[in-house]
């Protein structure tokens, strides 16, 4: 039987499978057959006669554990069912069920999900009479979770001066008290949250050496998948369990460590050898997934990271096409180009839409992609997140917009009457609904005359809400959809509420509201659209989202849209990575330290290595931010790719006629039927004189000579003003024609 699977492995894989004794680290490059090696390693142990009950295999997803168990069963039969295999949380919940009484919990303890935990934190904040705007449940739970993952107990939290100073600086000095109350209430209720499953396992092993010895004798072989994603709590558990026999095998790739924001600690894999000096290291460096060009491009990027385990990933697949880079004039145009490219590739190469994936850094970027795909009737699915218009914060703001246009919209009213909180509880809403039924009125008629139906104290916030909606209706009657939506988002308190939440989720929701407003701005800026009212916009998105959701459910062949974080572990024939711009990717929040920037670079490496045959990167030279057109700079990561693997397949040039974008550009693609056009020679770089000072360009006219600090000398060929922004098309002597936004361009008028 052994020959059957060993013959399927390359020498590095076979070495990792057969060397089962002692500590072992398998550094598995992208697409190198990591799951196969881990699976066959367990199968090999069973073939050697190891009792399956003595093997512990820890994964990060139930899907990975299930897939491995099925594969092992095919090799060795039903014995595979007896291996201790599963996620960290599932395996240690199983252990805690047996041992919980040792640490004062019932064996039938409840496991709280995130919503249970948030509800409990909300109750505690209310009981302590704290400001619920400062102590938001998501933020508080994030702080408690981080503490538990670092094994910081309640007492340590309360007594640590550094932690106390951090909370006081954030104007939240009572988080330690909430943590204390939360832990006490969970314990009293016989409940653990997800973090407790690891935290309490550590407590169990620390306080009860007999229990630790018991499981050390059971788990003679410990294997950990995706080791680069482990946190301190997980690291300590696995180290303790393997301390007796030291048969620990960790599998991972430091170049794919992208979850620091969830507590993952890359030093666990980088410093693994310090814990086990006798360590055997096996490097799986052959990539079976991607073309040579894609693998080499990925290597040229990741080599810029200093903190890494060096390896030489290679591919023996075909050379493949060069990586295409798309430069677009705007994010909207970027979406159109991507959609067109997908449509053309599908038709020209007889592909399925399932062969395509669009990856982005933030969920908010899906909007432009979704709209462009819909216009070409290309079906798509959102993975790891809701469709843009289905996200809670988007539905909340759209509900306000719907109420503004139609105050009798009962579902919209129920959604926002107490969001953000204004003291209108469920009891009051029930009274309003009952009053409407008894008087045969719409709920809005009752709400707008609440003082006739409710006691004054209860009626006041309802009357205030009604006045708000009436003011929005007045604004919507005078202004276009964007101005009305911006006014509503600001005056409803939604923007302030989301901006105050500094958690990862809060930031994402804030960005999504910004992106919705960007979409409305593009809607009203469309010169061919006559009706720019809020009612028209709402009808447009209602027709699109409802119809397309139904269509998508009928057709299984769809383009996949997801964040790069969600794409880890997946692969697609053709991959598009969009939004390759500074402050977007790398994120502006991740460029203040080397460690953060290197995590962003690893994220880019993960994105590149999802592609099998074709990789396309794109960036926009301008994006809307809160309704204002902003100039964008291409990502530094694009410059880190060795130029020999890149082809600027698309270009943007001024023009007019069919296909013109809202920014006055016609997008031209080199025809496959013609030889490549000669590229312009770009000057190495212009060095401005020491006394260079930009001029006031508000009165710039065509024909004027100007100097630019990067492009040198040129002549203004054309000036265009759209949406309050003025563009200058300038013919430079060295680099040819460039289109610059005057609000950002640094020009000296000669």
Spatial distance between the Cα atoms of 45 and 52, rounded to a whole number of angstroms: 8
Is residue 657 a known part of a binding site?
Answer: no
Q: Is 392 a catalytic residue?
A: no
Spatial distance between the Cα atoms of 390 and 398, rounded to a whole number of angstroms: 10
For residue 49, the surrounding DSSP H or E stretch is none
In the set 225, 355, 371, 522, the catalytic residue is 225
**Residue 345 in contact with residue 563, Cβ under 8 Å?**
no
For residue 19, the surrounding DSSP H or E stretch is none
Q: Is 697 a catalytic residue?
A: no
Q: Is 256 a catalytic residue?
A: yes
Query: Using CB atoms within 10 A of its CB, is residue 511 exposed (0-12), middle (13-18) or buried (19+)?
Result: middle
- Please enumerate in sequence order all residues whose Cβ is within 8 A of that of 249, keeping only pairs 6 or more positions apart, or say none: 20, 23, 24, 25, 26, 41, 221, 222, 223, 224
In the set 35, 442, 545, 726, the catalytic residue is 35
Q: Is 207 a catalytic residue?
A: no
For residue 328, the surrounding DSSP H or E stretch is strand 323-328
Q: Is 226 a catalytic residue?
A: yes
Is residue 431 a known part of a binding site?
Answer: no
**Residue 204 in contact with residue 102, Cβ under 8 Å?**
yes
Query: Using CB atoms within 10 A of its CB, is residue 138 exposed (0-12), middle (13-18) or buried (19+)?
Result: middle
Is residue 32 a known part of a binding site?
Answer: yes
Spatial distance between the Cα atoms of 288 and 548, rounded to a whole number of angstroms: 36
Q: Measured on CA atoms in the order 347, 349, 351, 353, is the torsion positive or negative?
A: negative
* DSSP per-residue codes, 141-170: HHHHHHHHHTT--HHHHHH-HHHHHHHHHT
Is residue 368 a known part of a binding site?
Answer: no
Structure tokens at 330: 């705007």
Cα 634 to the center of its chain, rounded Å: 20
Task: Encode 361-387: b = buried (16+ Cβ within 10 Å), e = exposed.
Answer: bbbbbbbbbbbbbbeeebbbebeebeb
Cα 220 to the center of its chain, rounded Å: 38
In the set 39, 87, 230, 256, the catalytic residue is 256
In the set 226, 253, 355, 522, the catalytic residue is 226
Is residue 30 a known part of a binding site?
Answer: yes
Query: Using CB atoms within 10 A of its CB, is residue 643 exposed (0-12), middle (13-18) or buried (19+)?
Result: exposed
Q: What are phi and psi of 285, to 5 degrees?
A: -110, -10
Closest by CA to 651, choosing from 602, 618, 691, is: 618
Spatial distance between the Cα atoms of 454 and 423, rounded to a whole number of angstroms: 14
Structure tokens at 131: 């400001």
Is residue 339 a known part of a binding site?
Answer: no
Measure the CA dihedral 151/157/160/161, to 10°: 140
In the set 13, 34, 415, 514, the catalytic residue is 34
**How would you classify the pairing of strands 110-111 and 611-620?**
unpaired
Q: Is 225 a catalytic residue?
A: yes
In the set 220, 283, 610, 748, the catalytic residue is 610
Spatial distance between the Cα atoms of 43 and 514, rounded to a whole number of angstroms: 51
Spatial distance between the Cα atoms of 223 and 235, rounded to a whole number of angstroms: 12
For residue 215, the surrounding DSSP H or E stretch is helix 209-218
* DSSP per-residue codes, 617-663: EEEESEEEETTEEEE--B-HHHHHS-GGGEE--EEEEE--STT--TT
What amino acid positions are annotated as catalytic residues?
Answer: 34-35, 225-226, 256, 610
Residues at the binding site for ATP are 28-35
Indicate the annotated binding residues: 28-35
């Amino acid at each position: 039987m052994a020959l059957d699977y060993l013959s399927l492995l390359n020498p590095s894989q076979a070495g990792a499978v057969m060397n089962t004794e002692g500590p072992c680290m398998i550094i598995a490059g992208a697409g190198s057959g990591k799951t196969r090696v881990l699976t066959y390693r367990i199968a090999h142990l069973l073939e050697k006669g190891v009792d399956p009950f003595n093997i512990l295999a820890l994964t990060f997803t139930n899907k990975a554990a299930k897939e491995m168990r099925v594969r092992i069963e095919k090799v060795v039969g039903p014995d595979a069912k007896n291996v201790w295999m599963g996620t960290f949380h599932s395996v240690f919940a199983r252990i805690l069920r047996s041992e919980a009484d040792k640490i004062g919990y019932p064996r039938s303890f409840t496991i709280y999900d995130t919503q249970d935990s948030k509800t409990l934190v909300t109750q505690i904040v209310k009981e302590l009479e704290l400001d619920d705007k400062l102590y938001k449940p998501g933020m508080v739970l994030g702080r408690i979770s981080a503490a538990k993952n670092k094994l910081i107990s309640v007492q340590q939290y309360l007594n640590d001066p550094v932690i106390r100073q951090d909370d006081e600086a954030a104007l939240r000095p009572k988080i330690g008290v909430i943590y204390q109350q939360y832990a006490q209430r969970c314990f009293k209720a016989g409940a653990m949250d997800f973090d407790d499953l690891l935290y309490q396992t550590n407590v169990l092993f620390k306080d009860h050496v007999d229990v630790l010895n018991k499981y050390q004798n059971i788990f003679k072989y410990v294997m950990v998948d995706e080791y680069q994603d482990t946190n301190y709590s997980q690291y300590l558990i696995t180290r303790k369990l393997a301390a007796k026999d030291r048969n620990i095998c960790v599998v991972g790739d430091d170049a794919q460590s992208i979850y620091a924001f969830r507590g993952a600690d890359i030093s666990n894999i980088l410093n693994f050898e310090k814990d086990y000096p006798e360590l055997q290291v096996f490097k799986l460096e052959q990539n079976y997934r991607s073309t040579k060009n894609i693998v080499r491009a990925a290597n040229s990027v990741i080599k810029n990271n200093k903190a890494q385990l060096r390896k030489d990933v290679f591919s023996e697949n075909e050379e493949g096409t060069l990586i295409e880079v798309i430069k677009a004039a705007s994010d909207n145009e970027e979406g159109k180009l991507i959609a067109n490219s997908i449509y053309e590739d599908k038709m020209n190469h007889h592909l399925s839409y399932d062969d395509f994936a669009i990856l982005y850094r933030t969920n908010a970027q899906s909007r432009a992609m979704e709209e462009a795909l819909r216009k070409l009737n290309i079906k798509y699915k959102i993975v790891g997140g809701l469709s843009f218009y289905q996200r809670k914060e988007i539905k909340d703001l759209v509900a306000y917009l719907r109420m503004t246009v139609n105050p009798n919209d009962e579902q919209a009213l129920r959604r926002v009457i107490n969001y953000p909180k204004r003291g209108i509880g469920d009891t009051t809403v029930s009274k309003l609904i009952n009053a409407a039924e008894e008087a045969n009125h719409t709920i809005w008629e009752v709400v707008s005359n609440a003082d006739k139906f409710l006691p004054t104290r209860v009626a006041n916030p309802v009357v205030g809400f009604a006045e708000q909606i009436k003011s929005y209706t007045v604004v919507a009657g005078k202004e276009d959809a964007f101005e009305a939506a911006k006014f509503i988002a600001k005056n409803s308190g939604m923007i302030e509420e989301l901006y105050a939440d500094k958690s990862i989720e809060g930031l994402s929701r804030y960005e999504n509201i910004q992106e919705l407003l960007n979409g409305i701005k593009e809607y009203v800026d469309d010169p061919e659209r006559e009706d720019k009212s809020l009612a028209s916009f709402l009808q447009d998105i209602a027709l699109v989202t409802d119809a397309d959701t139904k269509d998508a459910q009928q057709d299984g062949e769809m383009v996949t849209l997801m964040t790069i974080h969600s794409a880890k572990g997946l692969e697609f024939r053709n991959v598009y990575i969009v939004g390759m711009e500074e402050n977007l990717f790398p994120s502006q929040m991740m460029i203040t330290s080397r460690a953060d920037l290197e995590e962003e670079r690893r994220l880019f490496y993960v994105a590149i290595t999802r592609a099998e045959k074709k990789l396309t990167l794109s960036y926009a030279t301008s994006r809307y931010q809160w309704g204002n057109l902003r100039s964008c700079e291409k990502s530094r990561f694009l410059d880190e790719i060795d130029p020999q693997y890149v082809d600027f397949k698309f270009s943007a040039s001024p023009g007019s006629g069919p296909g013109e974008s809202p920014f006055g550009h016609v997008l031209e693609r080199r025809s496959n039927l013609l030889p490549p056009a000669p590229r312009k020679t770009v000057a190495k770089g212009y060095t401005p004189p020491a006394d260079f000072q930009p001029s006031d360009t508000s009165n710039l006219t065509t024909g004027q000579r100007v100097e630019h600090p990067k492009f040198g000398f040129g002549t203004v060929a054309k000036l265009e003003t759209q949406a309050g922004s003025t563009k200058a098309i300038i013919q430079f002597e060295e680099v040819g024609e460039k289109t610059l936004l005057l609000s950002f361009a640094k020009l000296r008028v000669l």
